[in-house]
Amino acid sequence: MGKKHPRTFPPEFRQTILELVQNGRGIDDLAREFEVSAQTIRNWVKQYELDAVKRRDGLTSDERAELSKLRRENKRLTVENEILSKAAAWFARETNSIPDKRSSS
């Protein structure tokens, strides 16, 4: 069975749910009414509170975006470094700067 992709919700919908929670509506009631899991709503509330600096036990949305960007860049640089390292070794062997690994000396 294939991996189930999480549903995505427009920012306006999330904002509406957050406003309802702030106005005292219960998360479980909202989850049933809008057919969203209660955990999803809890995650939205937590992220809202992190972004609003009402809590400090996680990353803000900006920090998450920056971390994701840095991880992608790190992966790209690691791949580029591996390619350059292999190319340098190849050129060194081609110019006889270092002995070939296959030689008997």
Asked if residues 44 and 17 have their Cβ atoms less than 8 Å apart, the reply is yes
pLDDT over threshold 80, residue 92: yes
The mean pLDDT of 46-70, rounded to a whole number, is 94
What is the residue-wise DSSP string for 16-73?
A: HHHHHHHTT--HHHHHHHHT--HHHHHHHHHHHHHHTTS--SS--HHHHHHHHHHHHH
In this prediction, residue 72 carries a pLDDT of 98
Q: What percent of the chain has pLDDT over 70?
A: 89
Can you give the pTM of this predicted structure?
Answer: 0.65
